[in-house]
Structure 1
């Protein structure tokens, strides 16, 4: 019996009902499927019935089990981040996986930036899924919500209780789908959002004023408005305007003369 390894964040989804629900939610495409962290292969087995699968597994012990169980599986043994350059595959693909919680956000952001990733259907911690799918006005709405909305249609599909896994995690999980309509997001915009949401409890004015000469009223915004109250389109307009000013040395505080 293989024991889950904490260092790899392993929680194996064993409940057949939820495995079937994930397969039923698969995007309708002929794309290659990439699975990260196939574990014991319960989802892998079902994915192979539908599509060609390329899997990445960091656990060498599990790799040997997977090789014996699925001799025709295209399996890469090692850290997926070491394989991931500009793209994880040289063809269009759908990422379908039960992602380890500790790496889920990083993996999703990389896939959103990967021009060959078309759809992302992943099982992740519910708290993270809620952040990616949050809407303007929600307290947890932030940079993850905005970046995802700039690149994909985001749909939180269903929750999965701890008892569906072995071992059972301490939190709820969710399955979330990103249907991309753009190849990638703007990395400079992502950095801008980090500044805007640096302290969500502060006003947008206070956060942006750390780096920019920013006047909210100039953009039709109240001085008291907080980051989670600003929609994605407005954020991009702010980013574009402030970026244009910075080219002329009129925007960054570091370039201002006293």
Structure 2
């Protein structure tokens, strides 16, 4: 049951909002087991942060805490006001039984985009997702990579400043993976803060600017991507990168 957690969208006076996101002693328990254990992490307001670590480390749960889908038992979540509410892209896209265009139009309507502006923004999103030719196609007939690009574009409909990606390429082939990675980098280059969960170490090295390594519900290391892969400081991270099992 949620306890004393504080979710602060507007940090108190004196908080350095250039930090973007600040998590302090986040604890979450399920069935008596700790999922997040006094997890603390501070992130900048720009760039791509990779969340990596073994299965069960708490990566996906942490994304849901940031969105407010899950309330921790205790701790503090601070998100700089200019980042607003985050958008989340799941590993497996859930699409409406409508056309590509209708899926995006629905997202624009939910996001509160004024009706006169929707057609222009719709065209932009179709270009961003490389789906202009498939605009009238039923969304659920698209390939896996196309569906994920549609889910990505749908998340961008609200012009978020914080985008959370939960293993968006886990089941995709190399070409589709490359397309999502291009889209991720382009989104970050536009000024959006991206948090990217991945099990693919090579992908993290290709895409991310910094790495937060999670183990047993805690961040055991947070460093630039170069420092993390060249000289990991925590024992757990070193073993993980060597391919050892972490128990």
The answer to whether TM tops 0.5 is no
Q: Which structure features the higher share of strand residues?
A: 2
From the CA coordinates, give the structure whose radius of gyration is larger: 1
> Normalized against structure 1, the TM-score is what?
0.29
> Normalized against structure 2, the TM-score is what?
0.30
Higher relative contact order (CA 8 A, sep 6+): 2
